[in-house]
Amino acid sequence: MEITNLWDARFLFELLKNGFLLAGGVYVWWTTRNRATSTAIREVHIRLDEVDRHVSRLEQTLENRPGFSEIDKLRGEMAGMNRSVGELATQVQASNALLNRLHEYLLTEKGNR
């Protein structure tokens, strides 16, 4: 390809210059497309802080829950209370039977007089 005049040379120079700038722009975009920006890093820090607070709450909840020994102690206390309630129920039944007999006695004695 022969360059016949200055306009052809200038056009060819502009074409090569713009091609080089386009290639440079594509290269810069390609290399920085995955680069972490300060905004992305800040968002990751915020998310990490949220996860840290959540884990701290879970750890605190797990530390404050009762252990196996405390649950066994509570079961023993509940069994003792259950026995006490059973004893009260038998006493109430005995008192109820006594009151029923007394009621029948009074009804029969009042009816005989």
The pLDDT value given to residue 41: 86
The DSSP string of 70-102 is HHHHHHHHHHHHHHHHHHHHHHHHHHHHHHHHH
One domain, residues 83 and 52: no
Place of tokens 């959540």: 54
Cα distance between residue 49 and residue 93, in whole Å: 63
Residue 111: pLDDT over 70? no
- Enclosing domain of residue 45: 37-66
Q: Judge whether 27 lies within some domain.
A: no
pLDDT, one tens digit per residue, over 56-96 is 999 999 988 988 999 999 999 999 999 999 999 999 999 99
Q: Judge whether 1 lies within some domain.
A: no
The pLDDT value given to residue 1: 55
One domain, residues 46 and 88: no
Q: Judge whether 72 lies within some domain.
A: yes
One domain, residues 55 and 96: no
Q: Judge whether 13 lies within some domain.
A: no
pTM for this model (two decimals): 0.42
Structure tokens at 28: 């810069």
Structure tokens at 24: 């440079």
pLDDT, one tens digit per residue, over 96-107 is 999 999 998 888
The pLDDT value given to residue 6: 78
The pLDDT value given to residue 109: 83
Higher per-residue confidence, 47 vs 6: 47
One domain, residues 56 and 74: no
Q: Which residues, other chains included, contact 9 with Cβ-Cβ below 8 Å and sequence gap of 6+? A: 3
One domain, residues 48 and 89: no
pLDDT, one tens digit per residue, over 6-46 is 778 888 899 999 999 999 999 998 888 777 778 888 899 99
One domain, residues 62 and 77: no
Question: Dihedral of CA 78/84/85/87: which sign?
Answer: positive
Q: Residue 2: which region, alpha, beta or left (left: phi > 0; alpha: psi -120 to 50)?
A: beta
How many domains, the chain?
2
Q: Judge whether 77 lies within some domain.
A: yes
Q: Judge whether 107 lies within some domain.
A: yes
Residue 3: pLDDT over 60? no
